[in-house]
Amino acid sequence: MPSGAVINNNTPGDADKHIGLGTATEVRGAITTASRPPSATQTAESDDNYVAPFPRAFDTSIALNNFTAPGCQPFFQNFLNNSTFVNCLPLSFFIQNSQSWFDIIKHGIVPVTQALTASCAVDSNQCNAVMNQFGKELLDANNCGADFKSRNPVVVQAYASFISYSVIFAAGCQRSETGFCYADAVTNTTNAADSYVYLMPLGLSVPGGARLTCSTCLQKTMRIYSAAAENKSLPISSTYASAASLINLGCGPSFVNSSVTAAQLGTAASLSSRTWISTVSVIAVLSMMFL
């Protein structure tokens, strides 16, 4: 696999020289030493003796055993073990395909906040370049191109995670009055539906019966998504409109922007590799206006 100017397969120490992140040990240290913010919502309590693991994507034994193309599994093994990718702590991969991330969530708001503190401390521009490069290489016929065309779920999910990195970084790293909006949502024991909104950039729709909490966090997150949804090659373009209508039904007719036209599923699912490369960074810059 060509490494390009950003991606490398050296040791974590070498990767740090290129991307400006901490080593795996340093990043894990950030996870375990971040302070606990107070919470305004009722959230799951944390085990004070719990030490958050270093989260990894696709970390179950059965996740990577169903590929068609000979080069697809090696491609996954390559990027998942790439020190630069690992040190980016990509939330876009964790929220759908990481058992270690789910374990962190089960232990409550403290470890979730600590993990987010580390994930949001990386250089998102440099990490976005890494995700862009891997996203392009995934589509190569020598890697996972055939599996992507046949809609292999793992491959499609990985590609969506690559191209949606900036959008999910912006949404997941937003701060509430007491901490992180994402941490409040996924540990909210009074309304579990709040977590659905963070899966939208990966092409997963908010269920029709869900009633999300009408909060400032929700408004800011949907504002980010509204800008991103204008790019019809991104998965968020197929999920935003229905979610906006649902939210406005419960929160008021103008609570979030509902003027974005939904992309056809086939259009978003095709995920043109030519369109998103030039626009995702712009989306990230725009979204930071709302942090």
How confident is the model over 266-291, as pLDDT tens digits? 444 444 433 333 344 434 434 444 44
- CA dist list (Å): 25 to 13, 60, 244, 273, 277: 10, 22, 41, 34, 31
Residue 69 lies in a domain: yes
Length of the chain: 291
- CA dist list (Å): 115 to 110, 111, 125, 150, 282: 9, 6, 19, 34, 26
Please give the model's pTM, rounded to 2 decimal places: 0.77
Q: Cα 290 from chain centroid? A: 18
Residue 204 lies in a domain: yes
Indicate the number of domains in the chain. Answer: 1
Residue 19 lies in a domain: yes
Q: Which amino acid is at 151?
A: R
Angle formed at CA 168 by CA 282 and CA 180, multiple of 5 degrees: 115
Neighbours of 129 (CB within 10 A): 20
Residue 45 lies in a domain: no
Residue 7 lies in a domain: no
Residue 127 lies in a domain: yes
Name the β-bridge partners of 175: 180
The label of the residue with tokens 């250089």 reads: 123
Interval 71-124: pLDDT, tens: 999 999 999 999 999 999 999 999 999 999 999 999 999 999 999 999 999 999
The Cα 209–Cα 17 span in angstroms is 48
Residue 48 lies in a domain: no
What does the pLDDT read at residue 92?
98
The Cα 85–Cα 267 span in angstroms is 28
Neighbours of 213 (CB within 10 A): 17
